[in-house]
Amino acid sequence: MTDKLYYSDQYARECEAVVTKVDGTKLFLDRTIFYPEGGGAPGDTGYFDGIRIVDTKKDSDDVVHILEKPADAISVGKRGSLSLDWERRYHYMVMHTAQHLISALLFSTLGVHTVAIHLGEKYLTIESLEDIEEDKLFDIMDEANEKVLSSLSVYRMEMDRSSALSMHMRRSIKVEGDDVMVAVISGVDEVPCGGVHVKSTNEIGHVTYIGKEHIRGHLRTYWRVGDEDRKALRTGEKVLSLLSKALSSTVEGLPDALDKKLARLSLLEGEVKALGEKGAFLEASLIKEGEVFHRTTFPSDKVASSLIDRGISGIFLLDDDSSFTFLGSGEEFSKLKAKGVKGGGRNGVYRGKCTLSEEEVKEALS
C-alpha cells in the first residue's frame, strides 16, 4: 500500500521514495505526494529522478504514477526524488476548494444539490438537476466572495462511517470501508471527500459566475476562480476601456452604444451590398460578347450573374482574390483544370481558385 503523503502535507512539492514495482509505464512507489485522478480533478504530473510522470491514478490502495515512456533506469528498490508540477497541482487545489464552497452555498441557500462537477484549466463546472435563475447565481457568487474574504479555515477530518453518517452531510458517502474522510470549510460545509484542498478560503482569491447551459437534463453552471479569474477580469477591464473610447461612451452606457453602432453597421452593410451588386451589373454591361478573359474588381460570381442573363458564354472572370467564374462548356473547363485551375461546377457555370496568368487561361481556351 502506498503511503499517501498528500494527506499529511498537501503543500509538499518534493519527497524521496523507493520503487516497489514497475510495469511498463506504471510506476509504484512506497510513498508519494502525487494525488491520483478523482473527484473531478485530474491526476498530478511531475518527475521521478528527472523521468517524466504524465498522470497519476488509483489502483486499489496503491497510487500508480504513469510514466511518459518505459524507463530502463528504474528498477525495484531504486530510491529517487519525486517533484510535483506544483503550479498545476495548486491550481486544482484552489479549484477544488472553490467548488466545495460554491456547492455548499447552492445547497444551504437554494436547496440545490450538486450532481456532477468538472475542474478545468480555465474554469470549473457544477451541475444540478434544478434550474436556477441567473440573479440567484450572481447572489451565490457574491456570497462566495464574502466567504473568500473571511479567510475561513479548510481542513480534513478522519472518522468512522457511523460518525460520518450521523453528521447528515449534503452528499452521500461514496467510498467503501469504515474509514471516511470529511473535508470541512469552517462554518460553511462538511462533505465526504478524499481530495486535496487549500488551507484557507482566502487562497481562492476570487470567484466569478460566468454562465449556464442546459445539457442532458442537467443545469451546468460555469465558474472562474483564482489566478484565471484575476487574469480574465484584468483583460475584461482593458476591453471595456477600449470599447468605451471607441464608442465614446461610459462603461454603463456601452450596451446602448453598442446596439446603436451595430444597427448602423447593419444598415451600411446593406448599402455596400447594394452598391456592389450595382457595380457588378455595370461592369458586366461593359463586357462584350466574344471576350474570353476579364479581370474584375467585383466578385466574379456577381458579374457572371448578369452575363448569364444576357446569354453570354465562353468567358473566364477572375477577381482580386483569385476566385474565378467560368461560363462555358465542360470540355473547355476540363482544359482549364489540366492547366492547374482548381474548382468545379455544372450546367455551364464553374467556380474555384486560379493562379494562372491571362495568357495561360487564353491558351487553355484557344
In DSSP notation, 106-125 reads HHHHH-PPP-EEEE-SS-EE
Residue 299 in contact with residue 323, Cβ under 8 Å? yes
* 93 and 103 Cβ atoms separated by less than 8 Å: no
Which of 29, 62, 84 represents a domain boundary (last residue)? 84
pTM of the prediction? Answer: 0.73
300: nearest Cα among 323, 275, 282, 327:
323
Asked whether 315 and 327 are in contact (CB, 8 A), the reply is yes
The CA-based angle 177-115-201, given to 5 degrees, is 85
Residues 175 and 298 in one domain: no
178, 206, 233: which is the final residue of a domain?
233
Contact 58, 51 (CB under 8 A): no
Determine, yes or no, domain membership for 35: yes
Distance between CA atoms of residues 341 and 335, nearest Å: 9
- In terms of phi and psi (left: phi > 0; alpha: psi -120 to 50; beta: otherwise), the region of 33 is alpha
Task: Tell me how many domains the chain contains.
Answer: 3
> What is the chain's pLDDT, residue by residue, as a tens digit (366 residues)?
899 999 999 999 999 999 999 999 999 999 999 999 887 789 999 999 999 999 999 988 899 999 999 988 899 999 999 999 999 999 999 999 999 999 999 999 999 999 999 999 999 999 999 999 999 999 999 999 999 999 999 999 999 998 989 989 998 888 888 889 999 999 999 999 989 999 999 999 999 999 999 999 999 999 999 999 999 989 988 988 898 888 888 988 888 888 888 888 888 888 888 887 888 888 888 888 888 899 988 888 888 888 888 888 889 999 888 899 999 898 899 889 888 889 999 889 999 998 888 888 888 887
Same domain, 108 and 139: yes
Average pLDDT, the chain: 92
